[in-house]
Amino acid sequence: MQTYFIELSYLLASILFILGLKGLSHPETAKRGMHLAEFGMLMAIIGTLMHHQIVSYTWILSGLAIGSVVGLAMGVWVPMTAMPQRTALSHAFGAFAAALVGISEFYRVGGHLDTITMGALGFEVMLGALTTTGSLLAFAKLQGLVRGTPMTYKGQNIFNMVLLAGTIGIFVYLIFVPGSMPLFFTMVGLAFIFGLLLVMPIGSADMPVVMSLLNSYAGLASAATGFVLSNNVLIIAGTLDGFSGFILSILMCRAMNRSMTNVLFGAFGSAVTAAGPGSEQHGSMREVSIDDIAVQLAYASKVVFVPGYGLATAQAQHAVRELADVLEKRGVTVKYGIHPVAGRMPGHMNVLLAEANVPYSSLYELEQINPEFPSTDVTVVIGANDVVNPDARDNPNSPIAGMPILEVDKAKSVVVLKRGQGKGFSGLENPLFFKPVTGMLYGDAKDTLTRLVQAVQHA
């Protein structure tokens, strides 16, 4: 009866995880998807707690209490702008848990493991260990605790490959001769070191892609844990996590027109790549006033807002919605152009704008909005930089050459809201700011938008 209940709760949890993922694939159903997945996790926990192999609940309940407090605190106090580093920490915890389960299982029955179980266990521990240190370094880079630019040295890729080959070599040996405790711990140690070395040469700008990849590793490590423990829900959830993370990494690379190899081994954002030939700028930026822009907006027939990372740091999502409301009341058509990698995580802009109740029907993806720019009277770029950098289209020597951009420079007029001369995440200069069609409106985006609302009302 007990086993029947456990398997039923695992089946239910797995179905809910799949429905949850499906819901998360669309902004309108994302919230419901999240709730379904949460309920699925509750089912999986309840099922696991019913397990007859549990002899004492003391440690489990202590872990549950500590984990809940940490999780709640992170959910309540970590701001949206720090979500990438928060996710990196979660991956590190999850992967470390998988590695520890594998280590304790090897410690318990090491020498008696059959080939398949040892293969799954070695895979779990190796991926778990490298994901732990890789995610911790990703967290430190994103949080600014260590330098965010790529850390490189001569022969780095070859050294990393040799280390990885050595780790895999020990892993393969252990599959056939599983008894050696020293070799097992050497493999674990090398995997921990490899995680650090893997992330070291990757700059902060590429960190979201790397984290999505690490997320995929953590998922696969959990799936392997499921094989070791004969736990179905771990196998299913881990595989879903593993493959969705991998697909997301590929989609992000595609949106930046970069290959996965380039992201992992290209040291993008280092001094060498940042100063691509042809990236130097001439001329000056043209500063405009709130009143001028307010008049342009008030008498426009079509306005497109293009939000970027600055919208998130300024928390200007409600202010932009207010400006849109005021303009729409005057009969102006308002649309939002959303770049797939605007901000610092996939769907960043969608989440922020949904929080301010911007109707989903007003959001347009890159391919939909680009043909509309020539007929747009005013395009308002709000704290976006790299995703509107025309060098990606016009300068074949630019490090971001070929990255699809929002072609805002084709609009009749462009106004850029940013605080000053700060660069985007890639560290590149943006020729858009020097074009005659562009006016610069300096200041914090929320503050500028709030003042624009008042000015448009009096225009």
| CA-based torsion, 252, 256, 260, 263: positive or negative | negative
Long-range contacts of 14-23 (CB under 8 A, 24+ apart): 14/40, 14/232, 14/233, 14/236, 14/237, 15/40, 16/40, 16/43, 17/236, 17/237, 17/240, 18/240, 21/240, 21/244
Burial, 362: exposed, middle or buried (Cβ in 10 Å; 0-12, 13-18, 19+)? middle
Please report how close the Cβ of residue 400 comes to ligand NAP at its closest, in angstroms.
7
Cα–Cα distance for residue pair 307/317, rounded to 1 Å:
9
- Tell me if 178 contacts ligand NAP by CB under 6 A: no
Q: Is 386 assigned a catalytic role?
A: yes
Residues with Cβ within 8 Å of residue 316, at least 6 apart in sequence: 310, 382, 383, 444, 445, 446, 449
Give the CA angle between residues 451, 345, 399 to the nearest 5°: 95
The structure tokens listed for 346 are 């996939």
Closest CA to 106 of 174, 194, 60: 174
Cα–Cα distance for residue pair 307/335, rounded to 1 Å:
11
- Interface residue with ligand NAP, options 342, 369, 441, 449 (CB under 6 A): 342
Please report how close the Cβ of residue 309 comes to ligand NAP at its closest, in angstroms.
3
- Tell me if 418 contacts ligand NAP by CB under 6 A: yes
| Whether the Cβ atoms of residue 105 and residue 125 lie closer than 8 Å to each other | no
The catalytic position among 206, 386, 391, 409 is: 386
Please report how close the Cβ of residue 279 comes to ligand NAP at its closest, in angstroms.
14
- For residues 386 to 405, the per-residue mask of contacts with ligand NAP, x marking binding by CB under 6 A and - elsewhere, is xx------------------
Please report how close the Cβ of residue 411 comes to ligand NAP at its closest, in angstroms.
16
- Interface residue with ligand NAP, options 229, 304, 345, 440 (CB under 6 A): 345
Give the CA angle between residues 357, 361, 362 to the nearest 5°: 75
Cα–Cα distance for residue pair 217/238, rounded to 1 Å:
9
- Tell me if 287 contacts ligand NAP by CB under 6 A: no
Cα–Cα distance for residue pair 256/405, rounded to 1 Å:
9
- Tell me if 256 contacts ligand NAP by CB under 6 A: yes
- Tell me if 348 contacts ligand NAP by CB under 6 A: yes
17 vs 433 by CB, closer to ligand NAP: 433
By CB under 6 A, which span of 94-102, 165-173, 215-223, 377-385 interacts with ligand NAP?
377-385
- Tell me if 420 contacts ligand NAP by CB under 6 A: yes
- Tell me if 445 contacts ligand NAP by CB under 6 A: yes
Please report how close the Cβ of residue 312 comes to ligand NAP at its closest, in angstroms.
8
By CB under 6 A, which span of 75-83, 132-140, 153-161, 308-316 interacts with ligand NAP?
308-316
By CB under 6 A, which span of 75-83, 126-134, 363-371, 416-424 interacts with ligand NAP?
416-424
42 vs 275 by CB, closer to ligand NAP: 275
N- to C-terminal Cα distance for the chain? 73
* Measured torsion, CA atoms of residues 450, 455, 456, 459, in degrees rounded to the nearest 10: 180
Cα–Cα distance for residue pair 23/309, rounded to 1 Å:
25
**Number of residues located near ligand NAP, criterion CB under 6 A:** 34
The DSSP code for 441 is: E
- For residues 126 to 165, the per-residue mask of contacts with ligand NAP, x marking binding by CB under 6 A and - elsewhere, is ----------------------------------------
Q: Nearest to ligand NAP by Cβ — which residue?
A: 422
- Tell me if 91 contacts ligand NAP by CB under 6 A: no
Please give the helix or strand (H or E) that residue 381 lies within, else none.
Answer: strand 378-382
Please report how close the Cβ of residue 386 comes to ligand NAP at its closest, in angstroms.
3
Name which of residues 312 to 341 contact ligand NAP (CB under 6 A). 313-314, 341
- Tell me if 203 contacts ligand NAP by CB under 6 A: no
What are the residues binding ligand NAP (CB under 6 A)?
A: 205, 208-209, 252, 256, 308-310, 313-314, 341-346, 348, 383-387, 417-426, 444-445
Residues recognised as catalytic: 386
